[in-house]
Amino acid sequence: ETGVTQTPRHLVMGMTNKKSLKCEQHLGHNAMYWYKQSAKKPLELMFVYNFKEQTENNSVPSRFSPECPNSSHLFLHLHTLQPEDSALYLCASSQDETGPTNEKLFFGSGTQLSVL
């Protein structure tokens, strides 16, 4: 399989649930990102990892907890979410020699999350 793969594609959860989103990239890239895409709003950067180390946390609430066990896998752990967290969550990767430049990104198809 090639590219960036995200699972699940759709997720419905209650506000008291705990769930995780998974992302895997098969491109050999060193940087991975989580983005949030809400209706009628621009994409928002959430987290950045470079070689498994978190290099950016864009003021994201603590109910979102990222994990990057290696350069190919990225998780987003969710707990006690709010209805306004319903959105499309996109994972992306890039290959940057001097660190993540957040430029030419390869995106997965996203997880459409609904919080009831």
Footprint of other proteins on this chain (CB under 8 A)? 4, 40-43, 45, 48, 56, 58, 90-92, 101-110
CB of 115 to other proteins, least distance (A): 20
Taking the least distance from each CB to other proteins, the nearer of 75 and 107 is 107
CB of 80 to other proteins, least distance (A): 25
Could you tell me the CA-to-CA distances from 93 to 59, 61, 88, 114, 115 in Å, in that order?
20, 22, 17, 24, 26
How many angstroms separate the CA atoms of 80 and 115, rounded?
10
How many angstroms separate the CA atoms of 64 and 36, rounded?
11
Q: Parallel, antiparallel, or unpaired for β 111-115 and 10-13?
A: parallel
How many angstroms separate the CA atoms of 70 and 12, rounded?
27
Taking the least distance from each CB to other proteins, the nearer of 15 and 27 is 27
Cβ-contact 91, 37 below 8 angstroms: no
CB of 107 to other proteins, least distance (A): 3
Taking the least distance from each CB to other proteins, the nearer of 48 and 78 is 48
CB of 68 to other proteins, least distance (A): 17
Taking the least distance from each CB to other proteins, the nearer of 81 and 94 is 94
